[in-house]
């Protein structure tokens, strides 16, 4: 018994390293490109041979990346808290009456185009980061609410019945049974929400929230395709990086 | 001891349980039998307050169940359901240790108790402790379900068709194990089933329910001999009643000591039911069997006339 454990332990980090290989690969590619974009001038010259400046220089790519991550992170954190919280609240006995309302509200949030939200949010909140966070929050809420509802709804009622019958309190059932069992479905919702928002956040550049959308907007305005490609490349890599991380998280080691 | 006094439960305009009174003595296994929708499950679930009763009173050891905190009440009562209700994301060991952990037993004691129960239910700790419910067969999962219900050593056990979803062979094995377990543990058990053979095999007291009321209750043999009405009679097997009764009586109760005659060639264990002895006689076309003990040593004989209950041999 002891021998087996002794053999298994050194094997563990290797196995988990292999599991995280894809996200790590995307991450290193993202960081490498962010750091080395200026060295690729010759490459972007091929796209824009006639323009004087082919590398976006108004802000460092690292700064833009950090701001992008921050905006998406803040919006997603809020969306997860609100989305999971609301979905859990309306699946309790006390909150059942609000279930249709909440799922409808979340649907409306997604039918509203983020550009329209931005246009409405700017007069109310001013230029900058706040309106884009609000837009992303509203846009990202639906997949999280919908999946949390589906995840909790999909739990075998007999399991919940047994949990009650064993003498678990409502809080214990939620934390130890419902949320862990619904976790894969909830995680899938968060994954969709965050991935979409990484792309949508680029719109923030139009309202003065500087992020990886800056080179894209600037490229469109100035007719500089190289700028657009630089912004799009980094956003794409960031999305792949986050998406593959979620992919690994959803695959349980025991499954 | 569990007592129900004139207990009623209505769902909307429908009366599911209609003024039933029942007393289950300490250490007694009471089977609630009836067709589906007769209110037997509802009755069971009112005892641990998964369903609240509308009228009457339910007492545990003389105390109304409403006086207990419902969560604490349920932790004191073992509960087994047909679908097992095991948590799919927990291992077997963690599932069994649930109630002791809820009661904040020290870790070492929970572990010890889990292993003790796995031994009791015939589950090898090395093989099963780390397995997940989906890796178990139906019979194994239900053993885990019973172990989980027994974990905190409750005095009372509520079982809702625990073996109903199992194949006949596994079901019979588990019934046999349940009988042995009950002989050792002497829990106060309320057992819901629609399978009359199961009820007859396990119950000290049989309660027949129909449309929310108790039609008849008593010892299994009493009900067999004097069914209160045609419904009970048909539930008890109608013309098959003779065989059902024979299934309740052991060979040892009817056998005679070995006589001067030669041993009969066919043998029957002394603990077997008379129905089995009859079957052996029918099969081999004989009217006399040699009764043997566990080591297959002849200890007596059983003739067809004795089996039928005739006074002289």
Residue A166's nearest CA partner among B157, B278, B10, B307 is B157
In this predicted structure, the answer to whether residue B270 has a pLDDT above a threshold of 80 is: yes
pLDDT band at B313 (very low <50, low <70, confident <90, very high): very low
- Per-residue confidence (pLDDT) for residue A250, from 0 to 100: 81
Partner residue opposite B102 with nearest CB, options A158, A167, A177: A167
Q: B81 vs A159: CB contact, 8 Å cut-off?
A: no
Give the pLDDT confidence score for residue B104 in this predicted structure. 94
Partners of A167 on chain B (C-beta within 8 Å) are: 71-76, 99, 102
Domain holding A90, by residue range, is 60-250
**pTM of structure:** 0.80
Q: Is residue A166, in this structure, part of any structural domain at all?
A: yes
Task: Give me the CATH number covering residue A169.
Answer: 1.10.3720.10
Task: Output the six-digit token pair for A223.
Answer: 């007719």
Residues of B in contact with A180 (CB under 8 A): 89
Q: What DSSP string describes A106-117?
A: HHHHHHS-HHHH
The whole-number average pLDDT for the span B103-112 is 95
pLDDT tens for residues A33-58? 888 887 887 787 777 777 777 788 77
Domains assigned to chain B: 2-240 (3.40.50.300), 249-307 (3.90.1280.20)
pLDDT of res. A14:
67
SS3 B32: strand
Instruction: Collect all residues with Cβ–Cβ distance below 8 Å to A253 and sequence separation of at least 6.
Output: A16, A19
In chain A, which residues have their Cβ closer than 8 Å to the Cβ of B154? none
Q: Per the domain annotation, does A72 fall within a domain? A: yes
Token output for B243: 């065989």
Cβ distance A163 to B87 less than 8 Å, yes or no, reads yes
- Chain A to chain B, count of Cβ pairs less than 8 Å apart? 56
Does residue A24 sit within a domain? no
Q: Pick the residue of B69, B73, B85, B103 with the most A CBs within 10 A to test the interface with A by mutation.
A: B85
Flag whether residue A171 sits within 8 Å of chain B, measured between CB atoms. no
Q: In chain A, positions 177-206, which contact chain B (CB-CB < 8 Å)?
A: 177, 180-181
Q: Among A165, A173, A175, A179, which would you mutate to test the B interface (most chain B Cβ atoms within 10 Å of its Cβ)?
A: A165
Partner-chain contact B83 A163, CB within 8 Å: no
Any domain includes A117: yes
A209 assigned to some structural domain: yes
Confirm if A229 and A79 have CB atoms less than 8 A apart: no
For the stretch B122-152, pLDDT in tens is: 999 999 999 999 999 999 999 999 999 999 9
Which ipTM score applies to this complex? 0.82
Residue B273: DSSP 8-state: B
pLDDT in tens, A153-180: 999 999 999 999 999 999 999 999 999 9
A151 is a domain residue: yes
Comparing alpha-carbon positions, the chain A residue that sits nearest to B131 is A254
**pLDDT at residue A1 tops 60:** no
């Amino acid at each position: 018994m002891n021998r087996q454990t002794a053999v298994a332990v050194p094997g563990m980090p290797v196995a988990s390293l292999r599991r995280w290989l894809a996200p790590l690969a995307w991450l290193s590619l993202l960081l490498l490109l962010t750091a080395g974009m200026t060295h690729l001038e010759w490459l972007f010259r091929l796209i824009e041979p006639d323009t004087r400046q082919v590398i976006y220089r108004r802000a460092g790519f690292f700064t833009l990346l950090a701001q992008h991550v921050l905006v998406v992170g803040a919006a997603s954190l809020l969306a997860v808290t609100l989305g999971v919280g609301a979905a859990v609240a309306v699946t309790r006995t006390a909150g059942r009456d609000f279930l249709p309302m909440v799922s409808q509200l979340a649907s409306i949030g997604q039918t509203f185009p983020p550009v329209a939200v931005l246009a409405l949010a700017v007069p109310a909140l001013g230029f900058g980061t706040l309106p884009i966070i609000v837009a992303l929050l509203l846009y990202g809420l639906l997949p999280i609410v919908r999946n949390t509802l589906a995840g909790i709804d999909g739990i075998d009622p007999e399991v919940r019945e047994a949990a009650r019958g064993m003498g678990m309190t409502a809080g214990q059932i939620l934390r130890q049974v419902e949320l862990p069992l619904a976790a894969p479905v909830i995680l899938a919702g968060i994954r969709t929400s965050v991935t979409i928002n990484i792309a949508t956040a680029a719109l923030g550049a139009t309202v003065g929230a500087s992020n990886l959308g800056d080179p894209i907007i600037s490229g469109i305005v100035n007719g500089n395709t190289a700028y657009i490609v630089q912004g799009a490349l980094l956003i794409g890599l960031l999305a792949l990086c986050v998406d593959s991380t979620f992919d690994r998280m959803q695959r349980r080691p025991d499954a | 001891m569990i007592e129900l006094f004139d207990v009623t439960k209505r769902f909307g305009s429908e009366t599911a349980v209609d003024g039933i009174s029942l007393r289950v003595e300490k250490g007694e296994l009471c089977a609630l039998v009836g067709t589906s929708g007769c209110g037997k499950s509802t009755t069971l679930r009112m005892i641990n307050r998964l369903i609240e009763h509308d009228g009457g009173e339910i007492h545990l050891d003389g105390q109304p169940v409403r006086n207990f905190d419902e969560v604490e009440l349920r932790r004191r009562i073992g509960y087994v359901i047909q679908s097992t209700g095991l948590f799919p994301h927990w291992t077997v060991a963690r599932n069994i240790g649930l109630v002791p952990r809820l009661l904040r037993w020290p870790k070492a004691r929970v572990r010890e108790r889990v292993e003790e129960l796995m031994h009791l239910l015939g589950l090898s700790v090395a093989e099963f402790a780390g397995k997940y419910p989906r890796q178990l067969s139906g019979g194994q999962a239900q053993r885990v379900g019973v172990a989980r219900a027994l974990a905190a050593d409750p005095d009372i056990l509520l079982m809702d068709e625990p073996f109903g979803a199992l194949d006949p062979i596994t079901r019979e094995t588990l019934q046999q194990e349940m009988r042995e377990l009950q002989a050792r543990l002497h829990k106060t058990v309320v057992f819901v089933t629609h399978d009359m053979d199961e009820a007859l095999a396990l119950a000290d007291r049989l309660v027949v329910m129909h449309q929310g009321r108790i039609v008849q209750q008593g010892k299994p043999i009493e009900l067999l001999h004097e069914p209160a009405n045609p419904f009970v009679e048909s539930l008890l097997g109608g013309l098959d009643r003779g065989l059902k009764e024979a299934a309740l009586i052991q060979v040892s109760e009817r056998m005679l000591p070995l006589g001067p005659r030669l041993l009969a060639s066919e043998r029957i264990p002394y603990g077997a039911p008379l129905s089995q002895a009859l079957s052996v006689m029918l099969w081999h076309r004989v009217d006399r069997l040699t009764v043997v003990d566990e080591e297959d040593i002849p200890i007596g004989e059983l003739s067809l006339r004795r089996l039928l209950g005739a006074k002289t041999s």
